[in-house]
Structure 1
Amino acid sequence: MPVHPGLSYRQQGLLLTGGGALVMSPDALLIKLIDLPDAQMLMWRGLISALGFLLLVVARHGRNTVAAYRRCGGTGIMVALLFSLTTCGFVLGNQYTRAGNVLIILASSSIIAAGLSWVILKERLPRRTWLAIGVCMAGITMIVADDAGTGSLVGNGFALLAATTLALNFTLCRRRPGVDMSPMLTFAGLIVGLGGALVASAGGELALPDGERLLMIVGLCLGIVPLGVTLLQRGPLYLPAAEVGLLLLLEVVVGTLWAWGILGERPTPIAFVGGALVLGTLVAKGLYERRLELRVRQAVSGGD
């Protein structure tokens, strides 16, 4: 189902992925503010987000909800398993190291996705995409330069797990063109939530968060996560996996701005330069490729 019949496939992909990245931008900040033990955080995030994903699927597909799940097939099962690992890596990474460390490592999913697409899908990426990825990674490195040497090895390892499984997830989705894998995110949430519940129960940590934390968890897991991740998961229907990973850098930049504004962190001049570099590269690349797209359309129309 197209986002808008008047938009090209590329425009729809940019709208979905860019929108999802922006919706997800406060995620790392809210995890820090909620500040629950590991197992509790995974339990509540998984179970509540599973409900949110299910509600979205029902709202979109209605009577065809069961068919939407069946269409995902075996690839959908792999997507659910991979995204459950992405969730665990992202949440636990934020528990053990600074949000900036997690975000920059997550941004490496674009590099990983490019390599996986080349190996698995035999996709050839234009030089401008590789160049944009390199420039954006340089900008992200500048943004979190102060954090890069202070994070824990465990937290960075979890963040790398999130980046790798996210890249593999998007690459797998490209193997089933035209099939929306976002319904399977419901099962990813259940896997994370039930796993967290088992660990919390074994450690005697089953407890309902206090009022303020509970409100933040519900807002994050019932609203932000289901909507943002569903948009991101649909991105590979329209864009190569590496392009999706590149647009995820928006979440890094805007997420850093959230942390600056809410937590009162003062950005350094080098961080400002890095953010401008990332956003400028994304805008320039988008405008350039939009121009190429218009040229192709004009050439096709002229040939007719």
Structure 2
Amino acid sequence: MVVASAVSVSSPAAAPDERLGFVLVFAAAVCWSLGGMFARFIEIDDPWAVIFWRSVWAAAILVIFMLVRDGLRGTLAMFRSMGIAGIVVAACLTVCTSAFVVALGYTTVANILLIQAGTPLVAALLSFVLLAERIPRFTWIAIFAVIFGVGVMVSDSLGSSSSLIGNLLAVLIVIMFSIVTVTTRRFSHVRMTPAMCLGTLMAAGFAATQASSVQVSVTDMGFLFAFGAVNLGLGLAFFATGARMIAASYAALLATFETLLGPVWVWLVHAEVPSTSTLIGGAIVFAALLSHIGMQLSRLSRPQRPGTSGIGALR
């Protein structure tokens, strides 16, 4: 299938939208980075009950977001028009959101984040193969620097406590989220917020059939609301809107801020002091991401020569 025509060409007129895309995807990463912190407060033993309520609250926030932004008619129209691409995104997100919670019961947050750091590379490879997007050299450098930095961050935790099941679930998350990123970019004319809402509803429906009980305490419900509404729902709303405006490799790279910020929130709230390797690796990731974003913003602020595309001009 020829998909090269689906790759948008940046222009001075498109630059403001691209900048907004960067901001929204970064905001999504900040929301997602809060997940480990919220999960530590929840005392429910059954992960399927956690998945159920997290997905319910996420779906509620996404519905409210769409109703406020597009109204009832607009929201219904988006659900009707999302097509096969929306179904693919919904199915992948169902797997992602469920696998994340289940994986927390088998391995550490650090191990999951390490494996998830490979998402930019997988997304870039998929976009290169499927979308014919030309990936700039400095983007590849930043991707490998991020993966190396996150590897240093959590190297101390990859000992005997590492679970094969948990790590395989994390790999599954990487593959599914990469497909979400590339599909959102390929079908940028399709609003994917309804698809993400459908994905959370599918996850809630499946979890309800697996959970022994969905009854929780008032305290746990409060943290489940934050876990679902803020961490997942708001994050997905930001990502669905912003990822349409930028290349898949950039979206996945910005989303890696989740990996950098996640341990910070746990440190600040739960007093878990990061190790030396975490601090060193975090500095590498932070420097790589800031350098890449700085180069992107610099490119967007410069007028382009006639006949050059925003992505191709970076070669």
Fold in common (TM above 0.5)? yes
Q: 1:220 Cα shift?
A: 2.1
Q: 1:216 aligns with which of 185, 203, 223?
A: 223
Q: 2:202 aligns with which of 191, 197, 203?
A: 191
**Aligned partners of 1:40 and 1:196 also within 8 Å:** yes
Task: Measure the CA separation in 2 of the matches of 1:44 and 1:159.
Answer: 21
SS in 2 for 1:23: helix
1:16 aligns with 2:27: no
Correspondence list, 1:275-290, <5 A: 275-290=282-297
SS in 2 for 1:209: coil
TM-score (norm 1): 0.90
Higher helix share: 1
Q: Deviations for 1:159-213, whole angstroms, at most 9, x for unmatched residues?
A: 111111000111111221232211211211111111111012xxxx214211211
Q: Which residue of 1 aligns with 2:164?
A: 153
Q: Which residue of 1 aligns with 2:187?
A: 176
Counterpart of 1:225 in structure 2: which amino acid? Answer: L
Counterpart of 1:206 in structure 2: which amino acid? Answer: S
SS in 2 for 1:276: helix
Q: Which residue of 2 aligns with 1:41?
A: 50
Q: 1:7 Cα shift?
A: 6.0
Counterpart of 1:45 in structure 2: which amino acid? Answer: R
**Aligned partners of 2:154 and 2:277 also within 8 Å:** no
Q: 1:289 Cα shift?
A: 2.2
Correspondence list, 1:289-300, <5 A: 289-297=296-304, 299=305
Task: Measure the CA separation in 1 of the matches of 2:288 and 2:229.
Answer: 33
Structure 1: 4+ residue segments shifted above 4 A = none
1:105 aligns with 2:105: no
Q: 1:74 Cα shift?
A: 1.4
Say which is worse superposed, 17-26 or 172-181, in terms of deviation.
172-181
Counterpart of 2:187 in structure 1: which amino acid? Answer: R
- Structure 1 residue runs of 5 or longer lacking an equivalent are none
**Aligned partners of 1:107 and 1:245 also within 8 Å:** no
Counterpart of 2:231 in structure 1: which amino acid? Answer: I
1:114 aligns with 2:124: yes
Q: Which residue of 1 aligns with 2:311?
A: none
Task: Measure the CA separation in 1 of the matches of 2:207 and 2:200.
Answer: 10
How many equivalent pairs are there?
A: 291
SS in 2 for 1:239: coil
Q: RMSD across aligned C-alpha pairs, in angstroms?
A: 1.7
Task: Measure the CA separation in 2 of the matches of 1:125 and 1:102.
Answer: 26
Task: Measure the CA separation in 2 of the matches of 1:126 and 1:159.
Answer: 27
Counterpart of 2:158 in structure 1: which amino acid? Answer: A
**Aligned partners of 2:25 and 2:255 also within 8 Å:** yes
**Aligned partners of 1:93 and 1:158 also within 8 Å:** yes
Q: 2:147 aligns with which of 137, 143, 148?
A: 137
Q: Deviations for 1:67-100, whole angstroms, at most 9, x for unmatched residues?
A: 1222311111111011101111211112211111
Counterpart of 1:186 in structure 2: which amino acid? Answer: C
TM-score (norm 2): 0.87
